[in-house]
Amino acid sequence: MVRTRAPDIRSIHAPIAGPRPVKGYAMTKPPPDPASLDFFSAAFLLPNIGAPFLVGLAVGYFAKKILKVALFLGGAAVVLLFIGEYYGVTQVNDQALHQTAQTAADLANQSGSFLYSRLSQLTWKGGSAVAGFLAGLKLG
């Protein structure tokens, strides 16, 4: 009786992800029990929750500070236009001023929603980054 060897499954099917395991070491370590994982350890919290939160916090703080600077400069420009109109140097069209303000508000809304959506794309850590962004907006 001739004994034949069964084909190796790993050679028939491509691995799902990553390199092939070294022969003899495949599946030697069982997956950790979910109850034994320490979700409150610094090794888990810092890279998975802390770092994305800090990125979101920095982006939110920066966005609010830049918005304040833009509003300050825009307000100064409008005040200068009103002063110029008072002294007869220029004439201010109220409809054009309203249209310009509406365009600026739409642009600020688009950039804010872009930042919000981009931070939420930080894989599953997006919730932490978005929370940091909102906290940065509150602090800024």
**% of residues, the chain, pLDDT over 90:** 22
CA pair distance 125, 53, nearest whole angstrom:
9
Least confident of 32-41, 85-94, 99-108, 112-121: 32-41
Better pLDDT: 137 or 31: 137
Q: What is the pLDDT of residue 121?
A: 76
pLDDT bin (cut points 50, 70, 90) of residue 99 is very high
**Amino acid identity, residue 66?**
I
Indicate the pTM of the whole model.
0.58
Under 8 Å between Cβ of 57 and 132 = yes
Q: What is the pLDDT of residue 132?
A: 86
Residues making up the chain, counted from first to last: 140
Q: What is the pLDDT of residue 43?
A: 59
Q: 76 Cβ partners below 8 Å, 6+ apart? A: none
Under 8 Å between Cβ of 122 and 129 = yes
- pLDDT tens for 39-83 read 555 555 566 667 788 888 888 899 899 989 999 999 999 999 999
Label residue 17 left, alpha or beta by phi (over 0 means left) and psi (-120 to 50 means alpha): beta
Better pLDDT: 85 or 113: 85
**% of residues, the chain, pLDDT over 70:** 61
Under 8 Å between Cβ of 57 and 135 = yes
